[in-house]
């Protein structure tokens, strides 16, 4: 029987592929006016991807050493099984994998954080717009009727601007909006934090004398003390 790590390593790429298939099928279903065969294909892909997500989640839960602990630390994966709109966010895992490959080559952490943030934001806005459009367009009071309007509304929500020219009226739409708002606060947080980290570094580099002592400098000092000790040793031996 395989361990949980083995399972996760082997299913990483296939599951990212499943998430991509789901995203394409979901996009087609919402954006295109499908009928007949194509509608059936989309429905099958969406259902099939759900089955695969469910199997993957169950397998990882069963293979976990401490199942309750694993469940508590993977609530997001649980939500993926329950809520279709969250599923495409699994694609961010792809990014995590690319990031690991990138680390081998080397590169700044802040750059990776920004790349990850931009990719997450774009994916989040796209998926939220799809979910919003699907939820709202059937409702009589709804103001969101096209994908362009849904995208515009998502952008205004994720940046916490919130004009109010478009706002969800259905319960599903409001849950999507709540997710976007939380995403928006995190987005502001990541942007601010990255800039703060950069400024702190710049300021400390500005005046070399007041710079924090580095581990390298302590290491050099230690070598000096060690050399002193060796000389002392040889002195006491000589006479």
Residue 229 interacts with a copy of itself (CB under 8 A)?
yes
Looking up tokens 């500005």 gives: 206
Residue 149 CB, shortest distance to a copy of itself, in Å, is 9
Q: Between residue 130 and residue 189, which ones bind a copy of itself under the rule CB under 8 A?
A: 148, 152, 155-157, 159-165, 167, 171, 174, 177-178, 181-182, 184-189
What long-range pairs does 43-50 form, CB within 8 A, spacing at least 24?
45/21, 46/22, 46/84, 49/18, 49/19, 49/21, 49/22, 49/25, 49/87, 50/22, 50/81, 50/84, 50/87
| Structure tokens given for 92 | 């961010």
When asked if residue 27 is in the footprint of a copy of itself (CB under 8 A), the reply is no
Structure tokens at 69: 């602990």
First to last CA, the chain: 70
Count of other CB atoms within 10 angstroms of residue 196: 10
Closer of 92 and 181 to a copy of itself (Cβ): 181
Find the binding residues for a copy of itself in span 190-209 (CB under 8 A): 190-203, 206, 208-209
What are the residues whose beta carbons fall under 8 Å from the beta carbon of 54, sequence distance 6 or more?
81
- Considering beta carbons, is residue 6 or 160 the nearer one to a copy of itself? 160
Which range in 23-31, 56-64, 87-95, 217-225 contacts a copy of itself by CB under 8 A? Answer: 217-225
Cα gap 13→94, rounded to integer Å: 8
Identify residues 76-135 at the interface with a copy of itself (CB under 8 A). Answer: 108-110, 113
Count of residues that bind a copy of itself according to CB under 8 A: 72
For a copy of itself, which stretch binds (CB under 8 A), given 1-9, 21-29, 81-89, 225-233?
Answer: 225-233
Min dist. Cβ of residue 140 to a copy of itself (A): 16
């Amino acid at each position: 029987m395989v361990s949980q790590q083995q399972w996760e390593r082997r299913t990483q790429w296939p599951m990212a592929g499943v998430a991509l298939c789901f995203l394409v099928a979901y996009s087609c279903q919402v954006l295109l006016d499908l009928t007949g065969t194509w509608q059936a294909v989309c429905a099958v892909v969406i259902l099939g991807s759900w089955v695969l997500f469910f199997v993957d989640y169950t397998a990882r839960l069963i293979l976990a050493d401490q199942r309750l602990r694993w469940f508590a630390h993977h609530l997001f994966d649980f939500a993926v099984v329950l809520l279709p709109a969250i599923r495409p966010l699994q694609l961010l895992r792809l990014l995590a994998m690319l990031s690991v490959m990138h680390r081998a080559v080397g590169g700044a952490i802040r750059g990776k954080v920004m790349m990850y943030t931009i990719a997450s934001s774009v994916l989040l806005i796209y998926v939220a717009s799809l979910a919003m459009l699907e939820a709202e367009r059937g409702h009589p009071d709804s103001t969101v009727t096209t994908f362009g309007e849904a995208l515009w509304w998502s952008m205004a929500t994720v940046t916490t601007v919130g004009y109010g020219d478009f706002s969800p009226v259905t319960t599903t739409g409001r849950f999507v909006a709540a997710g976007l708002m939380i995403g928006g606060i995190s987005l502001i947080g990541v942007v601010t934090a990255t800039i703060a980290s950069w400024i702190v570094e710049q300021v400390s580099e500005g005046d070399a004398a007041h710079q924090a002592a580095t581990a390298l400098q302590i290491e050099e000092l230690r070598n000096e003390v060690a050399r002193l000790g060796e000389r002392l040793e040889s002195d006491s031996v000589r006479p």
